[in-house]
Structure 1
Amino acid sequence: MYLADRSAPAGAKTAPETAPDGRSVRAPAVASAVLALGTVSLITDVSSEMVTAVLPLYLVAGLGLSPLGFGALDGVYNGVSALVQLTGGHLADRVRNHKLIAGIGYGLSALCKPLLLLAHTLGPVGVVLALERTGKGLRTAPRDALISLSTPAGLQGRAFGVHRAMDTTGALLGPLAAFFILNMAVGGYDAVFGVSACVAVLGVVVLMLFVPSGAGLEPTGGPAAEDPGTVKPDSPEPAAVNLREAVALLRLPRLRALALCAALLGLTTVSDAFLYLLLQDRTGIREQWFPLLPLGTAAVFLLLAVPAGALADRIGRRTVFLAGHALLLAGYGLLLWAPHWPALPYLVLVLHGLFYAATDGVLPAAVGATVPAKLRATGLAVVGTSQALARFGCSLAFGAAWTLWGAGPALTAAAAGLCCCAAVAGFVLRPAAPEAAAEPARHPRGTP
């Protein structure tokens, strides 16, 4: 019961194909579907991050929203997508068309962007943001399932790393685009929302034209490929997934272990916004530079997402996943106890970016190697929802602790909790016993 073995499962690596002239041709390490989905995510993230970058200022300075109102709206913005993930994952498996459900999610988010031009009070803005996050929740699990089903089990860390790197490129470009539009265009916020809507529509178009539906995809190695419910090249089309089968996923010990560890570690993962506020409080960064802090994390994530994913495929996803949380703990330690070094902000942002590179794509890669193909999106949604809800709970608890105790004691409690939860996760995700791993019929090599 662990994230991954040191080696890929037999048959999971890119197998050589035979060309018409008899030459051996090696399959690409990253499938075209993954690159297409990465392009869609890049474009969509440009659109989303344009709005995210200006939303706090727009709501507080533009609409005069109180801090309490903004806090409630931020909770809606981050919590709704986590709750909808399960619905999106189950629907994608039930209709056996991951592209359709992902397209509905992308389309709903795109539709909400121009609606922000018409919403000028807390109620309508909250409804629009809830619908936008509903779209994100619907698309996340089907999109990750498409990546998983398009990639051999032994290369899924690399594939998710490539996707996350392209996604993060959009996260870098979005705030920069919003910054230039606000400073150059007439209409300010309205111009940002209008351009964001156009970019979001472009992402939906790319999805419709270049991403396969997923209905005909089958896994290429790993335990999911051997599950009785898996789609195989010569097998008849499987029956539609029902709710009972989806619920039965929770009986898989490996999936329960991954969901438990994702939730435990999420409960002690301080949100990005709080970490940047702590960094500003600790180092005295001037307010005009504060919006650039997320770009530091995103730049490191972009550079290292693919190498971290490939490393996880090579040495084991469990090792890389837990190492990522150790790096986050080191960042907490610097914020708490490091002297006033000029380099402190850069070190914390590098560690924060390394944390995301070592965990964000590695976890879904592990889930993809655990769950049967016909239930892949549902399994990804179960783990993703566990993690997202735990992080949402952590944000509420950390905000309350900061208010009651102060920033230092709150972060100390989070760091202590992360140490304990990481120790538990390391135990739960420990490698299987050697004698059990030696039975290939029951425990294929490389199985998470």
Structure 2
Amino acid sequence: MFNVMLFGIVSLLTDISSEMVYPLLPIFLSTALGASPAIIGIIEGIAESLASLLKVFSGYLADKTQKKKELTITGYSGSLLGKLILVLAGSWGGVLFSRIIDRFGKGIRTAPRDALIADSTQKSTRGHAFGLHRAMDTMGAVIGVIIAYILIRGNITDFKRIFWFSTIPALLGIIALLFVKRPSRDKSVKKEFSFAWSKLDTKLKQFLVLAFIFALGNSSNQFLLLRASKLGLSTPNVLLLYLAFNISYALVSLPAGKLSDLIGRKRVLVTGYFIYAAVYFGFARVTHTSSLWLLFIVYGLYSAFTDGVEKALLSDIAPSALRGTVIGMHAALVGVALLPASFIAGILWDKFGAQAPFYFGAGMGLLAVIGLLFIFKDKKTGSK
């Protein structure tokens, strides 16, 4: 578990950096740069989708060359560069460029890093490992939001000063990454391998398709923050809402991962998708800011029940020599879907009101529940 802990530290530091910035972006874009909800959706959609094209490529390259650590370092370095570019951004176009570079870094590092975590663990404890990693990652988000909140409350209203501060933990994360050990399992995997969609497990292919369909209704979390802001919450209180989400996410990620080891991945994932549908329906119906606290806390449960568990499920089903490729393919499909998802959400918001994108997301969440139950109905896969 040494690598898992070390990756957790790296992700904690990197998320401190990212979450000092992320919850402020929709406010920065809308107030300082005059961007509309549709523009915010386009920025997030383009950045995530373009970066996602790299995820399957980097996963494939990691499996083929066994340079997983090197690719991971390169990816985290890209995120640092993105923060530096954000400091210089003077228009929403500059923010878009910053987000593309930042997400490209995530696209390069995600699959190789997750493959290293899978290679460093056994199937019986894989849910625990990914849950621990997600918990530490999200605890970094908690700390990052707290720092941003303290700076805002300390009358530091210049967002770019906060963007500058965010580069420090990002650099420390890259330094910590240098101490990751290459799992001995990597050395036994042949570099010559073949990949063909037709040869993948049927349930794996169905799950990847389902993940893509669900992602079409899962727009950027920035729409949740924008919803809170439009209901009248101040910037510091929006940060506190996002903090509540991350605390919930961090506290439940490890128990959810361990639970999937005990009762099966499918049951935990079904619960997570159902929670998503319920929360998005709540965001569509909410009229009072007091209700937002409960919604953001419960939304953290959705993330905890799905994020790490999905990766554990993919690692279980995928051939060991293709874990990086499959994890990268999943991340790519989800990320590519974010462009139309965020664009659709922005258009629905502009044309039909703030409730529309959340009704749409709730419907896609219920569709994911039904799809998952159908795919794993024989209980042979996705179970304990």
TM normalised by structure 2 equals 0.88
Equivalence map 1:195-344=2 (5 Å): 195-209=165-179, 211-214=180-183, 216-217=184-185, 238-241=190-193, 245-248=194-197, 251-278=200-227, 285-286=233-234, 288-336=236-284, 344=291
Greater fraction of residues in helix: 2
Distance of 1:316 and 1:88 partners within structure 2: 29
The amino acid that maps onto 1:253 is T
What is the aligned partner in structure 2 of residue 27 from structure 1? none
Deviations 1:290-341 (A, max 9, x none): 2322111111111111111111111110010011111122223434567x78
SS of residue matched to 2:195:
helix
Return closer, same or farther for 1:59/1:329 CA change in 2, 3 Å cut-off: closer
Q: Which has the larger radius of gyration?
A: 1
Return closer, same or farther for 1:345/1:181 CA change in 2, 3 Å cut-off: closer
Question: Displacement of 1:392 after TM fit?
Answer: 3.6
Return the match for 1:66 from 35, 44, 49: 35
Q: Which moved more, 1:262-271 or 1:177-186?
A: 177-186
Deviations 1:208-261 (A, max 9, x none): 02x1234x326xxxxxxxxxxxx75xxxx51344xxx23447633132022022
> Would you say the 8 A contact 1:44–1:170 is kept in 2?
yes
SS of residue matched to 1:369:
helix
Detail structure 1 runs of 4+ shifted over 6 Å in the superposition: 445-448
Question: Displacement of 1:280 after TM fit?
Answer: 5.8
> Would you say the 8 A contact 2:62–2:71 is kept in 1?
yes
What is the aligned partner in structure 2 of residue 138 from structure 1? 108
Deviations 1:263-284 (A, max 9, x none): 2222233442223444566x65
Return closer, same or farther for 1:120/1:354 CA change in 2, 3 Å cut-off: same
The amino acid that maps onto 1:316 is G
Question: Displacement of 1:401 after TM fit?
Answer: 2.2
> Would you say the 8 A contact 2:233–2:289 is kept in 1?
no
Return closer, same or farther for 1:263/1:315 CA change in 2, 3 Å cut-off: same
1:375 matched to 2:319: no
Q: What do you get for the CA RMSD once the two structures are aligned?
A: 2.9
Question: Displacement of 1:121 after TM fit?
Answer: 4.3
Aligned length: 383
Q: Which moved more, 1:419-428 or 1:42-51?
A: 419-428
> Would you say the 8 A contact 2:20–2:166 is kept in 1?
yes
Unmatched runs of 5 consecutive residues or more in structure 2: none
Return closer, same or farther for 1:98/1:57 CA change in 2, 3 Å cut-off: same
The amino acid that maps onto 1:254 is K
> Would you say the 8 A contact 1:172–1:298 is kept in 2?
yes
Q: Which moved more, 1:123-132 or 1:152-161?
A: 123-132
Question: Displacement of 1:342 after TM fit?
Answer: 7.9
Distance of 1:381 and 1:70 partners within structure 2: 26
Question: Displacement of 1:343 after TM fit?
Answer: 5.7
Identity percentage of aligned residues: 30
Distance of 1:186 and 1:288 partners within structure 2: 11
The amino acid that maps onto 2:264 is G
Return closer, same or farther for 1:423/1:447 CA change in 2, 3 Å cut-off: closer
Question: Displacement of 1:358 after TM fit?
Answer: 0.5
Distance of 2:306 and 2:56 partners within structure 1: 21
Return the match for 1:397 from 339, 344, 352: 344
SS of residue matched to 2:355:
helix
Return the match for 2:149 from 169, 173, 179: 179
SS of residue matched to 1:205:
helix
> Would you say the 8 A contact 1:112–1:132 is kept in 2?
yes
> Would you say the 8 A contact 1:250–1:256 is kept in 2?
no
SS of residue matched to 1:239:
coil
What is the aligned partner in structure 1 of residue 295 from structure 2? 348
Distance of 1:256 and 1:295 partners within structure 2: 35
Question: Displacement of 1:94 after TM fit?
Answer: 1.7
Question: Displacement of 1:184 after TM fit?
Answer: 5.1
Distance of 2:19 and 2:249 partners within structure 1: 16
Distance of 1:413 and 1:191 partners within structure 2: 37
1:388 matched to 2:335: yes
The amino acid that maps onto 1:256 is K
Question: Displacement of 1:185 after TM fit?
Answer: 8.8
Q: Which moved more, 1:48-57 or 1:362-371?
A: 48-57
Question: Displacement of 1:74 after TM fit?
Answer: 3.0
The amino acid that maps onto 1:397 is I
Equivalence map 1:147-166=2 (5 Å): 147-166=117-136
Unmatched runs of 5 consecutive residues or more in structure 1: 1-30, 219-230, 438-444
The amino acid that maps onto 1:104 is T
The amino acid that maps onto 1:203 is G
SS of residue matched to 2:282:
helix
What is the aligned partner in structure 2 of residue 50 from structure 1? 20
> Would you say the 8 A contact 1:84–1:137 is kept in 2?
yes
Question: Displacement of 1:352 after TM fit?
Answer: 0.6
1:111 matched to 2:81: yes
Deviations 1:60-86 (A, max 9, x none): 544x35336544433333323222211
Q: Which moved more, 1:376-385 or 1:248-257?
A: 248-257
